[in-house]
């Protein structure tokens, strides 16, 4: 199988990650942060080592601000609801995933408490669109670093500065970019960074990270046992305990740590150049081909995540994906949980086929995918129906 | 040069504190009290031999919450 569905989750997971998960189950089997016996403490050390590695990787000075969550969606919900349920507005972009759009909408379904700024290929224009959309009661800018459908990026460093200049909090959804594009919370002015480690960090599914450089306290979505201040009925105020109740996913966390190490060993920028290089090749091969629809400009280094959307003209994206699957190519089609982005690019009715390579993807795979797209488009053009 | 327990409230504070002290050349051990006192969290502390005052200062300056310091055996 040729797996190019890495924007959903990366596969295969590196041997290092698989080994770390197995070792966690074999060796670090006690509940961390609860007991005082040697295995509980050694397990706690593993958890902390991952916090430290994540903090270092994303430029967060205090590892206590690294929160382990179920996934990136939970991290985003924690920030949005934890900051805004008591009041205030948010400002977001028009290319967001439902992980941002739905919790923002749920804050006040009948009288939306958020505004949307239009993404533009011109970074200056994007920042200006955000600036113009700031209202007196805006408290938080929350936006994706890169569209999970089209790969287009938002200028987070400039938006971070905008937020700081206006006294706003800044939260970034880095689901598609963590481990691929450079992110430094201090440098980029990010207060809250939401990460899907099972994507660009090659960790197991069912893991998420929320990194907090907290200027304002986020109220917890979940309260319960933390292994600290147990006599108190109140949730501890300190991080990470305030936002981490219940037994953590030790095996997954050990997998995150190994995944970070894997990306560091490969070199984050090398990973990015490899993946973007393959998509550049696809783009060059298919751009201008009769019957192929591309929706973005050439994916440029530093301005695009390694995600590309396309369609065969006149063919539903799901049908194209089915035909590719018949030939052993695994990709995702449809709306990708991001209807706003499809509205922005005019693909709401059809959805798109999404190509997302990873570090293990090859040039041979790229060639095969290009060839299949050409064949499907040609058959569609000449017969009006598909025979593969 | 006695032993001191620096009570830090949570396991994360203990792990972070241990690393910070290591970076300053102070060896410490994460310890969990059998019966933590009220306000001690779940009883996690750092056991240090000598240099307790300096260790406490390092932790406080670095933002690690120090609940209290007690003498060890």
Annotated domain spans of chain A = 15-266, 267-383
Q: Is pLDDT of A385 > 60?
A: no
Q: Residue B41 has what pLDDT? A: 62
Q: Cβ-count burial of A115 within 10 angstroms (0-12 exposed, 13-18 middle, 19+ buried)?
A: middle
Residue A275's contacts (CB-CB under 8 Å, 6 or more residues apart) are A180, A306, A357, A358, A359, A361
User: Would you list the DSSP string of A82-138?
Assistant: HHHTTS-EEEEESS--HHHHHHHHHH-SSS--EEEEPP-SSHHHHHHHHHHH--TTE
Q: Is B63 on the interface with A (CB under 8 A)?
A: yes
What's the predicted TM-score (pTM) here?
0.94
Chain B CB contacts of A245 under 8 Å are none
In this structure, which topology does domain A267-383 adopt according to CATH?
3.90.1150
Architecture of the domain spanning B3-71: 2-Layer Sandwich (3.30)
Q: How confident is the model at residue A388 (pLDDT cuts 50, 70, 90)?
A: very low
Identify which of A33, A46, A66 has the alpha carbon closest to the alpha carbon of residue A230: A33
Q: Residue B72 has what pLDDT? A: 81
Tokens read off for A190 = 């990010």
The answer to whether B13 contacts A238, with C-beta atoms less than 8 Å apart, is: yes
Residue carrying structure tokens 């190509």: A355
Rounded CA-CA distance A86/A250 in Å is 33
The tens digit of pLDDT for each residue in A262-313 reads: 999 999 999 999 999 999 999 999 999 999 999 999 999 999 999 999 999 9
Q: Residue A251 has what pLDDT? A: 98
Rounded CA-CA distance A368/A373 in Å is 9
Rounded CA-CA distance B36/B59 in Å is 20
Q: Is B27 on the interface with A (CB under 8 A)?
A: no
Task: Give the CA distances from residue A197 to residues A98, A209, A211, A230, A259, in Å, rounded to whole numbers and listed in that order.
Answer: 18, 7, 12, 30, 8
Nearest by CB to A241, which of B10, B39, B63?
B10
The tens digit of pLDDT for each residue in A14-50 reads: 999 999 999 999 999 999 987 889 999 999 999 999 9
Rounded CA-CA distance A92/A141 in Å is 6
Nearest by CB to B12, which of A35, A229, A240?
A240
Rounded CA-CA distance A326/A141 in Å is 43
Q: Residue A141 has what pLDDT? A: 98
Determine the average pLDDT of the residues in A216-233: 90
The answer to whether B10 contacts A63, with C-beta atoms less than 8 Å apart, is: no
Tokens read off for A359 = 């570090």
Rounded CA-CA distance A3/A279 in Å is 14
The answer to whether A238 contacts B10, with C-beta atoms less than 8 Å apart, is: yes
Residue A48: asked if its preceding bond is cis (omega within 30°), the reply is no
Nearest by CB to A48, which of B12, B42, B63?
B12
The answer to whether B10 contacts A236, with C-beta atoms less than 8 Å apart, is: yes
The answer to whether A227 contacts B11, with C-beta atoms less than 8 Å apart, is: yes
Tokens read off for A162 = 């905008």
Q: In chain A, whose CA is at the least distance from the CA of B34?
A: A36
In this structure, which topology does domain A15-266 adopt according to CATH?
3.40.640
Determine the average pLDDT of the residues in B12-31: 95
Pick the range with the lowest mean pLDDT from A28-37, A99-108, A236-245, B21-30.
A28-37
Rounded CA-CA distance A269/A141 in Å is 27
Determine the average pLDDT of the residues in A68-86: 97
Contact present, A143 and A154 (Cβ < 8 Å):
yes
Interface test with chain B among A50, A56, A228, by most B beta carbons within 10 Å? A228
């Amino acid at each position: 199988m040729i797996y190019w569905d890495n924007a959903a989750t990366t596969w295969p997971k590196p041997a290092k990650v698989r080994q770390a998960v197995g070792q966690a189950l074999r060796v670090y089997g006690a509940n961390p942060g609860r007991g005082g016996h040697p295995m509980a403490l050694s397990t706690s050390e593993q958890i902390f080592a991952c916090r430290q590695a994540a903090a270092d990787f994303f430029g967060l000075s205090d590892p206590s601000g690294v929160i382990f969550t179920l996934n990136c969606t939970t991290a985003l919900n924690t920030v949005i609801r934890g900051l805004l349920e008591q009041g205030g507005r948010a400002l977001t972009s028009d290319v967001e995933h439902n992980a941002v759009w739905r919790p923002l909408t749920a804050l006040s379904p009948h009288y939306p408490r958020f505004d949307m700024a239009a993404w533009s290929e011109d970074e200056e224009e994007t920042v200006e669109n955000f600036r113009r959309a700031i209202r007196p009661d805006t408290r938080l800018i929350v936006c994706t670093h890169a569209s999970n459908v089209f790969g287009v990026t938002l200028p987070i460093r400039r938006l971070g500065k905008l937020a700081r200049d206006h006294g706003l909090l800044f939260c970034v959804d880095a689901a598609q970019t963590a481990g691929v594009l450079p992110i430094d919370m201090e440098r980029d002015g990010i207060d809250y960074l939401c990460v899907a480690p099972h994507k660009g960090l090659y960790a197991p599914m069912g893991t998420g990270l929320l990194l907090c450089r907290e200027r304002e306290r986020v109220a917890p979505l979940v309260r319960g046992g933390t292994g600290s201040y147990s006599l108190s009925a109140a949730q501890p105020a300190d991080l990470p305990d305030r936002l981490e109740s219940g037994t953590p996913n030790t095996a997954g966390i050990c997998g995150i740590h190994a995944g970070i190490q894997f990306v560091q060993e490969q070199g984050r920028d090398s990973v990015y150049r490899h993946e973007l290089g393959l998509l550049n090749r696809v783009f060059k091969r298919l751009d201008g081909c009769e019957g192929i629809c591309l929706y973005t400009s050439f994916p440029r280094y530093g301005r695009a995540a390694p995600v590309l959307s396309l369609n065969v003209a006149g063919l539903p994206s799901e049908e194209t994906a089915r035909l590719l699957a018949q030939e052993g190519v695994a990709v995702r089609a449809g709306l990708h949980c991001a209807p706003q982005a499809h509205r922005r690019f005019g693909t709401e009715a059809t959805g798109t086929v999404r190509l997302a390579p990873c570090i293990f993807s090859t040039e041979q795979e790229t060639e095969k995918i290009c060839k299949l797209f050409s064949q499907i488009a040609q058959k569609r053009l000449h017969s009006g129906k598909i025979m593969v | 040069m006695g032993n001191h327990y620096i009570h830090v409230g949570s396991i994360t504070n203990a792990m972070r504190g241990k690393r910070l002290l290591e970076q300053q050349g102070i060896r410490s051990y994460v310890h969990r009290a059998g019966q933590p006192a009220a306000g001690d969290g779940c009883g996690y502390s750092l056991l240090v031999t000598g240099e307790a005052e300096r260790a406490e200062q390092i932790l406080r300056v670095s933002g690690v919450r120090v609940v209290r310091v007690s003498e060890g055996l």
